[in-house]
Amino acid sequence: MPEPDPDATPAVTIYDVARAAGVAPSTVSRAFSRPGRVNAETGERIRQIAAQLGYRARPQARATSPTRSSMLAVVLADLANPVFYELVRGAGSACEAAGYTMMLAETAESAVRERATLERALESVDGLVLTASRISDSAIRQVAKVKPVVVVNRVVPGVPSVVIDVERGTFRSVQHLVELGHETVTYLSGPEASWADGMRWRGLRRAAEELGVRIRRTGPFAPTVNGGVQAAATWAQHRSSAVVAYNDLVAIGFIRGAGRLGVSVPGEVSVVGFDNSAMAELVSPELTTVAAPLHALGRTAAQNVLAMVGGARSQAPEPMQLPTRLVVRETTAPVAG
């Protein structure tokens, strides 16, 4: 069905330029790819003619091996999640420093779309950063065989990755709640396929063992504000004095949902988010949350991809760990007497 484009201008080639300039095609080619090799004057003339003919190099036609495209793809699950701001910004700064252009692709939490995206992007970028990937380890390894890949917040044996210390961060947030006197903590879980969700739960469990706090798991909920609103409804059936949310969005949604139910935060229930996204301090009450070094995360990932593009071996399959930090704001308070 790709009916031939009716208005397809045949596109001007070096041959056209060569004819117009009265030189050989090879000279035109050199005028562009090796300017020193041809007489400065001739080169200038050629480039002039090329320009006014509207000549556009078609680099992918370059004889041998695929050219560098100077583009790097960052694929993420959901743009509406402000977490990705900082992450993307980090990756962006690394790209900019390297003279690269960053392209973003959203997969909407769908494995099939992610596959299609990867398949397509693979051809035109030099490397990829995979965040919140929902496809299988082996599919990722497949991709990594073709182009440099770094996975974010997930470990795939054999593929370089950078992760944040989600477990310890979660542990810290529970510790904080314990210090405030809370004895039961409800976890509002996120997507089951998510690596981070597993780590969060691990942190909770460790806290349960070492700190003697009671933990409860609900969900899974969508990792969005709406998911959080729903979580509030579920929570209301088995209340607890403290809640740890999968991420900031869920936490914010939970607070809104609780508000509608007439439950005050932090008066009646303390809430801790995760990510310290930009929204965390814009909402009120301002959100207590675990700050993930999102910017560093994105930057590190992109830098590593770039290094691999530059020819570095994909070194240490050991995932790089980045530390977290608890940011106490207004949604946590001592347990009500």
Interacting residues toward a copy of itself by CB under 8 A = 2-3, 5-8, 11, 54, 56, 58-61, 65-66, 68-71, 73, 79-80, 85, 88-89, 92, 96, 101-106, 108, 113, 116-117, 120-121, 123-124, 145-146, 252, 278-279, 282-284, 311, 313
Q: Please state the three-class secondary structure of the chain as a single string.
A: CCCCCCCCCCCCCHHHHHHHHCCCHHHHHHHHHCHHHCCHHHHHHHHHHHHHHCCCCCHHHCCCCCCCCCEEEEEECCCCCCHHHHHHHHHHHHHHHCCCEEEEEECCCCHHHHHHHHHHHHHHCCEEEEECCCCCHHHHHHHHHHCCEEEECCCECCECEEEECHHHHHHHHHHHHHHCCCCEEEEECCCCCCHHHHHHHHHHHHHHHHHCCEEEEECCCCCCHHHHHHHHHHHHHCCCCEEEECCHHHHHHHHHHHHHCCCCCCCCCEEEEEECCHHHHCCCCCCEEEECCHHHHHHHHHHHHHHHHCCCCCCCCCCEEECCEEECCCCCCCCCC
Kindly state the smallest distance separating residue 139's Cβ from DNA, in Å: 21
Q: Should residue 11 be labelled a site residue for DNA when binding is judged by CB under 7 A?
A: yes
* Cα 286 versus chain centre, distance: 25
Q: Interaction with DNA in 55-114: which residues (CB under 7 A)?
A: 55, 57-59, 61-64
Using the rule CB under 7 A, which residue among 1, 8, 40, 316 binds DNA?
40
Residue of 42, 110, 175, 226 that binds DNA (CB under 7 A): 42
Establish if 23 lies at the interface with DNA (CB under 7 A).
yes
Residue 141: CB atoms within 10 Å: 14
Minimum distance between the CB of residue 27 and a copy of itself, rounded to whole angstroms? 23
**C-beta of 25 vs 181, nearer to a copy of itself:** 25
Nearer to DNA, 35 or 267 (CB): 35
* Number of residues in contact with DNA under rule CB under 7 A: 31
Nearer to DNA, 8 or 316 (CB): 8
Q: Which of residues 212-271 bind DNA (CB under 7 A)?
A: none
Based on CB atoms, which residue is closest to DNA, 65 or 237?
65
If the CB atoms of residues 19 and 217 are measured against DNA, the closer one turns out to be: 19
Q: Which of 29, 153, 170, 300 binds DNA (CB under 7 A)?
A: 29
Residue 146 or 233 with smaller CB distance to DNA? 146
Q: Tell me if 8 contacts DNA by CB under 7 A.
A: no
Question: DSSP string covering 149-208, please?
Answer: EEEESS-BTTB-EEEE-HHHHHHHHHHHHHHTT--EEEEE---TT-HHHHHHHHHHHHHH
Please report how close the Cβ of residue 170 comes to a copy of itself at its closest, in angstroms. Answer: 25
d(CA 121, CA 263): 47
Smallest distance from a copy of itself to CB 177, Å: 25
Nearer to DNA, 42 or 184 (CB): 42
Interaction of residue 120 with DNA, rule CB under 7 A: no
Q: Which does 330 bind (CB under 5 to 8 A by kind): a copy of itself, DNA, none?
A: none
Q: How many helices (H) and strands (E) does the chain have?
A: 11, 12
Figure out which of the listed residues 19, 20, 32, 113 binds DNA, where binding follows CB under 7 A: 32
34 binds DNA (CB under 7 A): yes
Interface residue list for DNA (CB under 7 A): 10-11, 13-15, 22-27, 29-30, 32-34, 37-43, 55, 57-59, 61-64
